[in-house]
């Protein structure tokens, strides 16, 4: 038994009563899928998980943002 790839986010356009995928899926012909439809917001771009992981790794180098923001607004030490 072979496994199929898992897609967490796929972009499509609604045209003439059908959804048209913006890029092809690597699925065998006739594969049934479950869909959840959410209207895309203009200017909102999604990052693939592998890209998000790179971004969060870089942000972690900068220090403790929560602690630093709390110190910035802490009026008890002034």
Counted domains in the chain: 1
- Is residue 18 domain-resident? yes
pTM, entire model? 0.43
- Is residue 2 domain-resident? no
- Is residue 3 domain-resident? no
The residue segments making up the domain with residue 21 are: 12-73
- Is residue 46 domain-resident? yes
Max Cα distance, the chain (Å):
67
Nearest to 2 by CA among 28, 24, 29: 28
Q: What is the pLDDT of residues 39-62, one digit of tens each?
A: 877 766 777 777 777 766 655 555
In sequence order, the 6+-apart residues with CB closer than 8 A to the CB of 38 are none
Q: Cβ(21)–Cβ(10) under 8 Å?
A: yes
Q: What is the pLDDT of residues 17-29, one digit of tens each?
A: 999 999 988 889 9
Q: Which two tokens stand for residue 3?
A: 């496994």
Helix-then-strand count for the chain, H and E: 2, 2
- Is residue 1 domain-resident? no
- Is residue 59 domain-resident? yes
- Is residue 7 domain-resident? no
- Is residue 4 domain-resident? no
């Amino acid at each position: 038994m072979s496994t199929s790839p898992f897609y967490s986010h796929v972009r499509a356009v609604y045209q003439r009563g059908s959804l048209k995928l913006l890029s092809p899926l690597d699925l065998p012909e006739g594969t049934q899928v479950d869909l959840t439809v959410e209207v895309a917001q203009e200017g909102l771009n999604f990052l693939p998980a592998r890209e998000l992981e790179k971004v969060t790794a870089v942000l972690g180098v900068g220090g403790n943002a929560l602690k630093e923001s709390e110190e910035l607004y802490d009026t008890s030490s002034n």
